[in-house]
Structure 1
Amino acid sequence: ERVAAQVHAALGYEKEEILQVSGKTGVGVEQLLRAVVEKIPPPSGSSSSSLRALVFDTWYETFKGVVSLIRVVEGQLAHGDKFLMRSTDKTYEVHEIGIMHPEATPVKCLKAGQVGYILCNMKSPAEARVGDTVCSDASVEALKGFEPPVPMVFAGIYPIDASDFDALNKAISKLLLNDTSVTMMKESSNALGLGFRCGFLGLLHMDVFRQRLEQEHNADIIITNPTVPFRVRLKKTPDEFVTISNPSDFPDQSQVIEFEEPVVNASILMPNEHLGGIMELCSTRRATNMDLTYLDSGQVLMKCVLPLGEIVIDFYDKIKGISAGYASLEYESGGFQKAQISKVSFHLNGKPVDALTTIVHHSNAEQVARRVTEKLKEVLNRQQFEVAIQAMVGGKVIARETLKALRKNVLSRSGKTVGGGDVTRKRKLLEKQKEGKKKMKRIGDVELSQDAF
């Protein structure tokens, strides 16, 4: 009853519509099956019509190739038939067709209303996209609702040892056979060497991909801070938006009309006593349109609109920390909204470190810059010359730290003071050391090691 009251308050369903079912004891299973028969309509297609089927899952098997699960909406598909994939306009021949019962069981054909699998002469899983339409010819109208997956989180993946680049390339290629929603392209970094820029559907997707690389392929990798794609409207093309997923593609501010950032519609369920802390956290992350619904069981449901860039790194961890693990977060894409966006670049003695460059909201630029420069000062090794650590936005320095030079005591040699009490002799040695350090700073090169990164 308590859970039913929560569902009624949070989702708006009437209590008569809520079925109380237990898979453990079997209570309510019969009522559930009757409700499925009554409320879910049966398939409506005709087996005599032209073939139209929906691809709802695909995977790759080593000895069989690409396996596609389909739902036949109209017509029928048999062994040996040829069909067309609507999104690519490529033709294939059915080598095997069957149903999952529960293992793959071959049959002669699939008719309208049936669900099964097909094997054909596909070479790559990218050719079988989830949501695509299988049809008999190009004149057949595609089923509605197909949209290719759009990556919402991007990160760089680099091998810890540069010699492992080829092994990492093979490992990622194998994972892409079973996960076509990941995008990948090669990129190079002065600090980290050769690597890949990968796009994921979300943070969990990225974390699972990283774990599979480490556990299944024993890959030792570094992943850069995740970023989200922004949209920009330029003066030379004012009628269209360009998507930016890599800081290296960030345009000059003088050529920009406006930026847009992705937002999500978030729902946070929490106990009443933690509401204040979580509302304060959401406010610091630029949350808008906060709406509170108090449930009967001492819990509150908060709905708000949050920029995706504010929740991709540590937002979930902070919510769990504030609520002692009792709060839960769900979100879905909410489109784009206008925003002031800046690119923060970091420099060591005037030379840029491209691996640390990031795109952030203008209000967070100084905070991010100070945090990274302070951390760089801690992890960088001291040199024989002074190192300037700078964070810049559009040519303006917004944060700076200075790493002091290692300094040898030139006034002491073998435990004795050089020059005795002669001040001019001591000054001459100090001036010579100073000139040497100026020369080293001019010709010296500071590199950000992978350990420091």
Structure 2
Amino acid sequence: MIIPVINKIDLKHAEPDRVAKQIEKVFDIPKDECIQISAKLGTNVDQVLEKVVEKIPPPRAKLSDPLRALVFDSTYDHYRGVIASIALFDGWVQKGDKIMSSYTKKVYEVNEVGILRPDQYPVEKLHAGQVGYLIAGMKEVKEAQIGDTFHLQKQPVEPLAGFKPAKPMVFAGMYPIDQSEYTNLRKAVEKLTLNDSSVTVHRDSSPALGAGWRLGFLGLLHMEVFNQRLEQEYNASVILTAPTVPYKAVLSSSKLIKEYGEEEITILNPCHFPDRLHVKEYLEPIVTGTILTPDDYIGKIISLCQSRRAVQKNMVYIDDHRLMMQYLFPLNEIVVDFYDSLKSLSSGYASFDYEDAGYQVADLIKMDIYLNGKCVEELATIVHREKAYSTGKAIAERLKDTIPQQLFEIAIQAAIGSKVIARETMVGT
């Protein structure tokens, strides 16, 4: 059930009637059903509350059925462990019950249950139809996955539909600027991941940058927020490598298949990119991107999308001046600077959103970066063959501007295998 609400009608330039027509066009909800409110002034807020009572059905709860509880949020408390927010669909739960997670299959003993008023208020029992919290000695938030189902240990039930574990889509290497800060940075990363189960952490090391980690994030914004929290909350200075996406390779070499234990492998680090001789095909992740923009910028945006190897799926006007465009994008093409370019081209008016659309076959190659003939593994990247030359030239030029000037000449080369495709030379002082 959707209740359409248009807020901020008190603003000078608000056009609620135009927005109501857009809602009718895009979502097929009659414009007469839209409630126009001002949360600041309190205008028509009472109508929203009445509609919630009138239209949203009460929970279909069965006390007699075995416990079935949905986890919809979780937080970490340093003294009590993970606090899971749950909605009970069937049965009841109380202190002392042995419960099990449908996803992890781990068993816990309930230490406390309660409701939110909005602060936590312990109660003896939570029953079907209620929303509350549960503490059961879970050590990490990864044990309370959003969308997971809890049930009694001795009474297994069918999990609630729609659960998908969080899947990292962007990976980057993180290293301390000074290796003496490694221990402090490790503690900071551990503390941050206690409250963010979607970040994956794998230890990594590099000859040039020392010991560090390979981190997986849900997206570029997620990565930037994580990095900013490290800097602001823990005063940590880090080196973050260029973000990459998870590619896949279907192996043809029986030796490699035996080594990895499977025919299709996922490549999170460009350093582990298998040679073409041992691979049937490479796969890259794709996303369905939706762009909303005024029609004044349509030509520039189409050119931008085409330059990112996008395939147009749909284009429709949602009112007289705004249109919605849908494209299939390779994730690697939008993960770094696409959003900034879109905002720049549209003077900030265009909006962009995307969702996972699986994998597709792609002509991928690994590009190495050499400094004075020595390969720097941390700068290696995976690119599409069509974009190899332009990407290599851009990286070489960027490195030329970034590397501090030395007393001797430095040759910066981008190479595919043994073939150099771009070169810049830093002249010594």
Tell me the TM-score normalised to structure 2 length. 0.89
Contact 2:80 2:137 in 1 (8 A): no
Q: State how 1:78-157 maps to structure 2 within 5 Å.
A: 78-137=94-153, 139-157=156-174
1:30 CA displacement: 4.1
Given candidates 340, 344, 348, the residue that maps to 1:317 is 340
Out of 196, 199, 202, the residue aligned to residue 179 of structure 1 is: 196
Superposition deviation, residue 294 in structure 1 = 2.1
Structure 1 partner of 2:387 = 364
- The CA distance in 1 between the partners of 2:294 and 2:378, in whole Å, is 41
What residue in structure 2 maps to residue 273 of structure 1?
A: 296
Alpha-carbon separation, structure 2, partners of 1:40 and 1:335: 34
Identity over aligned pairs, percent: 49
Q: Is 2:97–2:152's contact at 8 Å kept on the other side of the alignment?
A: no
Gaps of 5+ in 1: 407-453
Secondary structure of residue in 2 paired with 1:321: helix
Partner of 1:287: 310
How big is the shift at 1:13? Answer: 2.6
* Counterpart for residue 430 of structure 1: none
Secondary structure at the counterpart of residue 163 of structure 1: helix
> Equivalent residue for 2:86?
70
Distance 1:246 1:239 in 2: 18
Cα shift at 1:16? 3.8
1:160 to 170, 177, 190: 177
Q: Secondary structure at the match of 1:170?
A: helix
Matches within 5 A, 1:49-448: 49-137=65-153, 139-235=156-252, 236=254, 240-380=263-403, 386-404=409-427
SS of the residue corresponding to residue 301 of structure 1 reads strand
CA distance in 1, matches of 2:28, 2:316: 11
- Aligned-CA RMSD value: 2.1
Q: Distance in 2 between matches of 1:289 and 1:308?
A: 15
Matches within 5 A, 1:15-26: 15-26=31-42
In 2, Cα distance between equivalents of 1:377 and 1:14: 58
Gaps in structure 2 of 5+ consecutive residues? 1-16
| Deviation (angstroms), 1:382 | 5.8
Tell me the SS of whatever aligns to 1:48.
Answer: coil
Alpha carbons of 1:104 and 1:382: their partners in 2 closer, same or farther (altered >3 Å)? closer
Q: For the Cα contact (< 8 Å) 1:343–1:358, is it kept in 2?
A: yes
Q: Distance in 2 between matches of 1:240 and 1:51?
A: 40
**Do the aligned residues in 2 keep the contact of 1:233 with 1:239 (CA within 8 Å)?**
no
**Once structures 1 and 2 are overlaid, which stretch shifts more, 372-381 or 391-400?**
372-381
Contact 1:10 1:293 in 2 (8 A): no
C-alpha contact 1:158 1:194 (8 A) present in aligned 2:
yes
Selected match of 2:51 from 17, 32, 35: 35
TM-score by length of 1: 0.85
- Per-residue deviation, residues 121-172 of structure 1 (Å, max 9, x unmatched): 2222222222221111253222222221110001111111121111110100
Distance 2:359 2:33 in 1: 35
Write the distance in 2 (CA, Å) between the matches of 1:284 and 1:377.
25
Instruction: Output one character per residue of 1:103-131: Cα deviation in whole Å (capped at 9) or x when no partner.
Output: 11111111011110011222222222222
What's the offset of the Cα at 1:10? 2.8
Seen in structure 2, the aligned counterparts of structure 1 residues 380 and 108 have a Cα distance that, compared at 3 Å, is closer
**SS in structure 2 at match of 1:2:** helix
What is the deviation of 1:60?
0.6
CA separation of 1:234 and 1:38: change in aligned 2, threshold 3 A: farther
| CA distances 1:190-220 after superposition (whole Å, capped 9, x unpaired) | 2222211100011111111011100000001
Report if aligned partners of 2:75, 2:195 keep a CA contact under 8 Å in 1: yes
SS in 1 for 2:110: strand
**Whole-Å separation in 1 of the counterparts to 2:165 and 2:157:** 20
1:44 to 56, 60, 64: 60
Distance in 2 between residues matched to 1:153 and 1:208, nearest whole Å: 13
Which deviates more from structure 2 when the two are superposed, residues 174-183 or residues 55-64?
A: 55-64
| SS class of match (1:53) | strand
Residues in 1 aligned to 2:120 and 2:218: alpha-carbon distance in whole angstroms: 29
Deviant stretches of 4+, over 4 Å? 237-240, 381-386
SS of equivalent to 2:37: coil
Measure the CA separation in 2 of the matches of 1:27 and 1:380.
58
> Structure 1 residues 64, 169: CA separation in 2 closer, same or farther (over 3 Å shift)?
same
Number of aligned residue pairs: 406
- Structure 1 residue 86: deviation in Å? 2.1
Distance 1:104 1:380, change over 3 A: closer
Residue 396 of structure 1 deviates from its aligned partner by 1.9
Aligned partners of 1:245, 1:108: CA distance in 2, in Å?
47
What residue identity is the alignment partner of 2:145?
R
Distance 1:28 1:337 in 2: 49
Q: Is this contact kept in 1: 2:68–2:151, CA < 8 A?
A: yes
Q: Which amino acid in the other structure matches residue 270 of structure 1?
A: T
Does the CA-based 8 Å contact 1:10-1:295 persist in structure 2?
yes
